[in-house]
Amino acid sequence: MAEDIVDVLIIGAGASSAAAAWSLSDTKMRILCLEQGDWMNPAGYPSTNKHWQVMLNPDYNQSPNVRRNEADYPINEDESAISVANFNGVGGGTILYSGHFPRLKPSDFKTQTLDGVGDDWPVDYYALEPFFAQNDRNMGVSGLAGDPAIPYHEPPLPPVPIGRMGEVMGKGLNKLGWHWWPSDSAIITEDYEGREKCINLGPCNYGCAQGAKSSVDIAYWPMNQRLGVELKTRCRVREITVDENDMATGAIYFDEDGVEHHQRAEVVIMACNGVGTPRLLLNSKSARFPDGLANRSGLVGKNLMFHPWGFVQGIFEDRLESHLGPMGTCMLSQEFYETDPNRDFVRGYTLQITRGQSAAATAVNHTLRGNIPWGADHHAGFEKYAGGSVNMNICCEDLPEECNTVTLDPNLTDSDGIPAPKITYRLSENSERMMQHGVNKATEALQAAGAFQIDAHGHTRGTGWHLLGTARMGNDPEKSVVNSWGRSHDVKNLFIIDGSIFVTAGAVNPTTTIQALALYIAETMKKNLANLFD
């Protein structure tokens, strides 16, 4: 039997993979994607059940160490100030993300030039701009044009409703003279491309039963499959193989029965996120690459960036019905995004304003804190807090530091015996100062909006949604893992397209930028097909 060799092998079926596969499909090359998880069944998402408030754990928990689905691999986080949040399945992290979709800004791509920290990217905002726009159309993105905190762009759909809570917060921010704007959201607010519009179910972060949240299992993969892209689920890659010429030859993977296969390929694209990609590269050791594949720079797994994340919650007397609506997307303030030399930190943060807590969470949290009493006064206490909470999230820019790493744990393995990743991470002094500033400013905003009680929680550990920087882009092979269009400096037919390639982190949820980069890389590959490996 002839050996099965595909033109393009993509590892992972999340946000970047879906976008790149869509773009490459018009080449008519044979494209195969291997995904370790399975397709999701939206009919099983918590919002389809009356007891959805307690069905969020553990099956839809954001931590693989809690969730422990068959598709998950464990992560040693003992030495990390932030724990990882991910999802393994068709759609990847977009299954559980909020759909909050702000772009990186022009200044994010040149932090060294502007602020003397981090490094400049080898691409800039304007090179990515057409790919942001294309991705907005493919995903179905809502928002309001004209935000003065970002170059002008027109989201294809009108913004998600910010509700009464948004109005109250907007008035408060106006008193302070601060920036705010309805968030760009990967949530369709009108029927779009055969999908039905958002009906404000609420718990978007546990899967959208309506299909209105633009997770890529819905927004991209059905289209990709119609275009001829092949997708195999329950296939966990162990190793990328290479030949004596430093060219990738394919991947060794285990199928759902644990049977080992070797899939040959002309081109390999890594799309496994900022933890999964370095893990797989470090697991792909060979005589030619004794420190892990594509790692002659020694930078694979280094410069891990999350976004240090904090919360401040305000409680309002008005029944704002703040528990209704897409939970993670409402509005944002980027008043403190850009560097200000008068502050005691460099770079900045986004204040992401999100919906309030559900009834059960309100009752539990405020009873345990002593705000709602036991006994006859319980009911009045609950009424005081129900439907009136607003969360201000502080999303801080994390600067790259080589001491923050993804390595291989010497003992921990997944169910196929593949070494698991270990995270070593600490917050920098700059991040600590930025976070304190953010907590103070969020408190000020909630006061201005009229909150009668404000609870500042500051940095919170379980917030490692954004996995960035562990196989960075750059023009210098000694200081980066991939070049300006995602190709490995060391292995000419190996590409990386996920958050690993971020040079700096910005201070926003990264998915839209990850996908714009993936589209940009795919487009550059197509333009260079004749001499792709030169």
Partner 1 sequence: MADVIATDSFLTEEQSLSLRALLDLIIPADADRGMPSAAELDLVGYVSEFASNQIAGIKTELESLDQAAQREKGALFGELEKNDQQTLCDHLRETDPRFAIAIAVQTLNCYYQDDRVVIALGWKARPPFPEGNEVPQADLSLLDPVRERGRIYRE
Binding site for partner 1 (CB under 8 A): 45, 47-55, 105-107, 114, 144, 146, 148-151, 159, 161-164, 166-167, 170-171, 174, 177, 179-182, 199-203, 209-210, 321, 324-325, 334-335, 337-338, 359-360, 362-364, 367-368, 374-376, 378-379, 382, 386
By beta-carbon proximity to partner 1, the closer residue of 19 and 209 is 209
By beta-carbon proximity to partner 1, the closer residue of 86 and 362 is 362
Task: Give min distance, CB of 186 to partner 1, in A.
Answer: 17
Q: Do residues 103 and 506 lie in contact, with contact meaning Cβ atoms separated by under 8 Å?
A: no
Label each residue of 339-382 as H, E or C: CCCCCCCCCCEEEEEECCCCHHHHHHHHHHCCCCCCCCCHHHHH
By beta-carbon proximity to partner 1, the closer residue of 361 and 427 is 361
By beta-carbon proximity to partner 1, the closer residue of 318 and 478 is 318
Task: Give min distance, CB of 349 to partner 1, in A.
Answer: 14
Task: Give min distance, CB of 63 to partner 1, in A.
Answer: 16
Q: Which of 187, 204, 186 has its CA nearest to residue 47? A: 204
Task: Give min distance, CB of 214 to partner 1, in A.
Answer: 17
Task: Give min distance, CB of 399 to partner 1, in A.
Answer: 17
Residue 185 and residue 248: Cα distance in Å, rounded? Answer: 37
Task: Give min distance, CB of 270 to partner 1, in A.
Answer: 31
Residue 286 and residue 446: Cα distance in Å, rounded? Answer: 55
| 3-state class (DSSP) for residue 395 | strand
By beta-carbon proximity to partner 1, the closer residue of 159 and 250 is 159
Amino acid identity for residue 225 in this structure: Q
Task: Give min distance, CB of 169 to partner 1, in A.
Answer: 9
Q: Which of 82, 105, 94 has its CA nearest to residue 507? A: 105
Residue 435 and residue 534: Cα distance in Å, rounded? Answer: 45
Task: Give min distance, CB of 199 to partner 1, in A.
Answer: 3
Q: Which of 529, 534, 273 has its CA nearest to residue 423? A: 273
By beta-carbon proximity to partner 1, the closer residue of 163 and 400 is 163
By beta-carbon proximity to partner 1, the closer residue of 392 and 482 is 392
Q: What six digits make up the tokens of 458?
A: 């500051």
Task: Give min distance, CB of 441 to partner 1, in A.
Answer: 15
By beta-carbon proximity to partner 1, the closer residue of 199 and 529 is 199
Residue 330 and residue 167: Cα distance in Å, rounded? Answer: 10
By beta-carbon proximity to partner 1, the closer residue of 352 and 488 is 352
Angle subtended at Cα 186 by Cα 185 and Cα 187, rounded to the nearest 5 degrees: 90
By beta-carbon proximity to partner 1, the closer residue of 58 and 298 is 58
Q: Which of 495, 493, 498 has its CA nearest to residue 532? A: 493
By beta-carbon proximity to partner 1, the closer residue of 251 and 449 is 449
Q: Which of 273, 275, 268 has its CA nearest to residue 294? A: 268
Task: Give min distance, CB of 238 to partner 1, in A.
Answer: 33
Q: Which of 88, 321, 47, 77 has its CA nearest to residue 205? A: 47
By beta-carbon proximity to partner 1, the closer residue of 102 and 292 is 102
Q: What six digits make up the tokens of 248?
A: 């990738």
Cite the DSSP H helix spans in 123-238: 125-139, 163-176, 216-219, 221-226
* Percentage helix, strand, coil for the chain under 3-state DSSP, each rounded to 5: 30, 20, 50
Q: What six digits make up the tokens of 200?
A: 């404000």
Which H helix or E strand runs over 20? Answer: helix 15-24
Task: Give min distance, CB of 192 to partner 1, in A.
Answer: 16
Q: Do residues 394 and 442 lie in contact, with contact meaning Cβ atoms separated by under 8 Å?
A: yes
Task: Give min distance, CB of 295 to partner 1, in A.
Answer: 34
Q: Ramachandran region of residue 220, left (φ > 0), alpha (ψ -120 to 50) or beta?
A: alpha
Residue 373: CB partners within 8 Å, gap ≥ 6? Answer: 367, 381
Q: What six digits make up the tokens of 384?
A: 């005081």
Q: Which of 307, 302, 256, 261 has its CA nearest to residue 282? A: 302
Check whether the bond before 42 is cis (ω within 30° of 0): no
Q: Do residues 384 and 231 lie in contact, with contact meaning Cβ atoms separated by under 8 Å?
A: no
By beta-carbon proximity to partner 1, the closer residue of 103 and 459 is 103
Task: Give min distance, CB of 436 to partner 1, in A.
Answer: 22
Q: What six digits make up the tokens of 499?
A: 């958050």
By beta-carbon proximity to partner 1, the closer residue of 287 and 376 is 376
Task: Give min distance, CB of 372 to partner 1, in A.
Answer: 9
Q: What six digits make up the tokens of 467?
A: 């996995």
